[in-house]
Structure 1
Amino acid sequence: MSTVILLIHVMIALAMVGVILLQRSEGGALGIGGGGGAGGGGFMTGRGAGNALTKTTAILAACFFVTSLTLSILATQQRGDTPSILPSGSGGEGGLNPLQIPGTPAPKTSDTPAAPQAPQSQ
């Protein structure tokens, strides 16, 4: 099921890239769908074609959004109840030490002070 949705997702992405590249750019930089004389000539010029490409882009974007959400939901359901690397508590003894490598024992703490101490006079 997820493979089929993933293939549809990729096809929608490729179609969206194609439709976006066909649109006329406002700055005349990369658009091949109109503009000066170097692009596609008279291919899909005029206001009607611009509206059709804009609507097509909006529909493809909505489909891309829906397939993205669907793939995310399917991935969450297929994963099930897997152990998390994050602690379930709010810190303290069960907290996660960011300097500790997972799977190794926690380093032993000593009673030495963490900051340098001034020498004591006798």
Structure 2
Amino acid sequence: MENVVLVIHLLLALSLIGVVLIQRSEGGGLGMGSGGGGGGGVMSSRGAATALGKMTWILAIAFIGTSIWLTIIAAQNSAGTSVLDRMGFEGAPITEGDQSPSIPDLGGDLLPPAATDAPLTPPRAD
């Protein structure tokens, strides 16, 4: 279900970008800067700008709706666990007198090899 909503969200985002780029920069996209009445049929430039403006609003509302929907799905899938809980971090709780938090022992896997870990015999130069 999450993948379907994510694909719809992606298509809405691409469509919204396309509709915004098609609009004229001076006609006031999303209804901003548009003057009063004025004639013009559906196929006039004014009618096309109005249609693109309405399409932009529809796509924007749908995009926000899928964003909220994806947030709800992600919240349900999280099951109330923290990232630190999933990592297995068992740090000591900080008391009022302790100003520094305990640092977990990550082992030597993340550190570069020490000089004592060098090979006993140097490699042969051929």
Q: Normalized against structure 2, the TM-score is what?
A: 0.55
Name the structure 2 match of 1:17: 17
Taking only aligned residues, the RMSD between alpha carbons, in angstroms, comes to 3.2
Q: Secondary structure at the match of 1:24?
A: coil
Q: Which blocks of at least 5 consecutive residues in structure 2 are unaligned? A: 28-42, 85-92, 106-126
How far apart, CA to CA, are the structure 2 residues paired with 1:67 and 1:96? 43
Instruction: Kindly report structure 1 stretches of 4+ aligned residues shifted beyond 3 Å.
Output: 94-98
Name the structure 2 match of 1:69: 68
Q: Flag the structure with higher helix content.
A: 2
Q: Secondary structure at the match of 1:93?
A: coil
How far apart, CA to CA, are the structure 2 residues paired with 1:68 and 1:92? 37
Residue deviations 1:26-79 (CA, integer Å, cap 9, x gap) = 29xxxxxxxxxxxxxxxx761000000000000000000000000001001011
Q: Which blocks of at least 5 consecutive residues in structure 1 are unaligned? A: 28-43, 86-90, 105-122
Deviation at 1:96, TM superposition (A): 8.6
Name the structure 2 match of 1:48: 47
Name the structure 1 match of 2:4: 4
Deviation at 1:81, TM superposition (A): 2.0
Give the fraction of aligned pairs with identical amino acids, expressed as a percent. Answer: 44
Deviation at 1:14, TM superposition (A): 0.4
Higher relative contact order (CA 8 A, sep 6+): 2
Written as runs of structure 1 = structure 2, the 5 A alignment for 1:82-97 is 82-83=81-82, 85=84, 93=95, 97=100
Distance 1:75 1:53, change over 3 A: same
The alignment covers a number of residue pairs equal to 83
Residue deviations 1:59-108 (CA, integer Å, cap 9, x gap) = 000000000000001001011021365xxxxx96178957x54x24xxxx
Deviation at 1:13, TM superposition (A): 0.3
